[in-house]
Chain A
Amino acid sequence: MFRSLIAASLLLIGSNAIAAQTLVTGKSQLSFTFKQMNTPVDGNFKNFTAKINFNPAKPETAKAEIIVDLASIDVGGPDGNGEAKKKAWFDIASNPKATFTATSVKALGGGKFETKGKLMMKGISHDVSGTMMAKAIGNDLLLEGSIPVLRLQYKIGDGVWADTGTVADEVIVKYKLLVTGKAD
């Protein structure tokens, strides 16, 4: 009761902001897969925030902004994690965050959606598109999808690392976002 009052008042206060729904961080994941000499390697970002307003019945009004704390990267080992933060890769000292802003969401039927947006990393912005599944879980909504990203467009893995024979250009970003609350 008390919680829903707070939620209701937040809804009123924040009616102009994107977020009408709240991300359940403990049940959300942001991961990625890429190929290193044809060997699939998985990694993830531990910390990110997402402001989401998405009603599966009205995808055209969807809004989303996901901000990723790049320093929270885990590519499976201390060597790789240290390397990923360096200048040639994410250059975390100068660019600590990556931002994804949704521009359009289109229903493809059967709970599937096409998502388009702008991804900004290292000060470079590109249009990206992917697919997403939306599934209601009780009063919550699970958004699961993937977006292929070409790392070299953002100069991620610059210099000697630009060789795609060792680290492929394509990185599949995968997300599983559990949001609670009602969309506007």
Chain B
Amino acid sequence: MKHSAPKNYDPLQISLHWLMALLIIAGFILAWVFADMPLSPDKFKMINWHKWTGITVLGLFFVRFGYKLLKGTPAVDPQLPAMQRKLVIGVHHLLYLLMFSLPLVGWLMSSAKGFTVVYLGKFELPNLIQKNEVIGNWLASAHEVIAYTLLTLIVLHIAGAIKHQVIDKDATLARMLPFLNKK
């Protein structure tokens, strides 16, 4: 889609970025906690919260990605070496891909394991595939691999932001944290 790149992220893009960041972190924390818990009502609750968090991320992904296609995002610093620019663009594309595929594979896995996702305990989502234990276990492994890939990229993404702020002392981080500009 052709559009001239905007100078800054607008408030909607910034809000979506941070809201999704919080939800993704919450999703990780819930998964780590319930993974080692013995079966209990609390574990069931946390598994369900984890699913609702993921489905929310999936929904917000479409809003965010659709809006990005419509409005565009600020261009990567053209002064960066070509290699580094490619890396940055690649990481961002991969982040989008994983933010979409992680909850989607989670949903598929839920369906395959025979546990329909009931969003917020109220809205029954369709089962994407039929119950199948083998496929369910395979999807569970895929969900984990995607999760740790996403986590690695998030760490890289945060490291990049800190490098810009602390070492380069430029306005990259301030694009997502506008209050840094007002100092």
Contact = CB atoms under 8 A, between A and B. Distances in A.
26 contacts: A36-B44, A36-B115, A37-B44, A37-B45, A37-B48, A37-B118, A38-B118, A38-B122, A39-B48, A39-B115, A39-B116, A39-B118, A40-B116, A41-B114, A41-B115, A76-B114, A76-B115, A76-B131, A79-B39, A83-B39, A160-B41, A161-B40, A163-B41, A165-B41, A166-B41, A166-B44
Q: Which 8 A-B pairs have the closest CB atoms?
A: A166-B41, A38-B121, A76-B114, A83-B39, A39-B118, A38-B118, A166-B44, A37-B48
B41 A161 contact: yes
A167 interface: yes
B113 interface: yes
A80 B44 contact: no
Interface of A is mostly: mixed
Interface in B31-49: 39-42, 44-45, 48
A41 B116 CA distance: 8
Contacts of A79: 39
Contacts of B45: 37, 166
A77 interface: yes
B99 interface: no
Interface of B is mostly: loop
Interface in B123-175: 124, 131, 133
Contacts of A39: 48, 115-118, 124
Contacts of A40: 116
Nearest to A36: B44
Given A39-B117, A42-B114, A166-B45, A80 B39 contact: yes
B121 to A, nearest CB: 4
A147 B93 CA distance: 53
Contacts of A167: 41, 44
A37 B121 CA distance: 6
Interface string B62-82: 000000000000000000000
A77 B117 CA distance: 17
Contact of A77 (B40, B48, B113): B113
A161 B42 CA distance: 10
Interface string A80-97: 101100000000000000
B110 to A, nearest CB: 9
Contacts of B40: 160-161
Contacts of B39: 79-80, 82-83
A160 B48 CA distance: 18
